[in-house]
């Protein structure tokens, strides 16, 4: 199909190659219109396919089933990652850490101030017997490390989920093209 302009009203008519050399009537102005021969007809701009019923000029055509599958996989991955991130984030938020290093030093200092001189000497002698390097961390430090692992897991899985959302958007837009 080719677009043939009407010389009277400039309305473009779609014309099939089989109509080459015939006379047509313009539906807009009812004027007579001579269709050129096939060689000249092929020089005219091609007519677009007529739009399907119920689709407007902003309709989209789905050309890539691979994009649809990619969108579904990326969407599923995003959902799983974001669910894991929310679970880990809740665990991080709800795990209490009863103490910190600063609070531990404060309480030790307050305890030492309440000691008598004889108790301070005994505490110092006990410190001399024990090495300064601790074999295991304090319990509060272990709890803090455990809580921080939940926070890191929430951060990593949330980031992976957001990247999967971005990939799903790319797949959703790449498999569709605008119909003219």
**pTM (two decimals):** 0.50
Token pair 């006379």 is at which residue?
23
Whether residue 72 has pLDDT greater than 80? yes
Domain spans of the chain, in order of start = 2-41, 59-97+144-180, 101-132
Residue 152 has pLDDT above 80, yes or no: yes
Closest among 11, 8, 14, 16 to 32, alpha carbons compared: 8
Q: Which two tokens stand for residue 173?
A: 């837009």
Amino acid 52: pLDDT: 43
Write down the mean pLDDT value for the chain: 82
**Res 3 pLDDT > 70:** yes
Res 178 pLDDT > 80: no
Q: Are 1 and 14 in contact (CB under 8 A)?
A: yes
């Amino acid at each position: 199909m080719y677009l043939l302009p009407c010389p009277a009203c400039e309305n473009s008519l779609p014309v099939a190659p089989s109509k080459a050399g015939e006379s047509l009537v313009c539906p807009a102005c009812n004027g007579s219109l001579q269709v050129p021969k096939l060689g000249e007809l092929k020089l005219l701009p091609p007519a677009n396919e007529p739009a399907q019923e119920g689709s407007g000029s902003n309709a989209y055509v789905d050309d890539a089933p691979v994009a649809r599958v990619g969108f579904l996989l990326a969407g599923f991955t995003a959902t799983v990652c974001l669910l894991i991130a929310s679970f880990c984030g809740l665990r991080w938020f709800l795990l209490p850490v009863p103490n910190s290093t600063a609070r531990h030093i404060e309480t030790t200092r307050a305890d030492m101030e309440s000691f008598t001189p004889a108790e301070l000497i005994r505490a110092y002698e006990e410190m001399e017997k024990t090495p300064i390097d601790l074999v295991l961390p304090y319990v509060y430090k272990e709890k803090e490390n455990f809580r921080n692992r939940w926070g890191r897991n929430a951060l990593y899985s949330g980031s992976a989920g957001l990247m999967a959302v971005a990939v799903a958007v790319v797949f959703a837009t790449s498999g569709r093209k605008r119909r003219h």
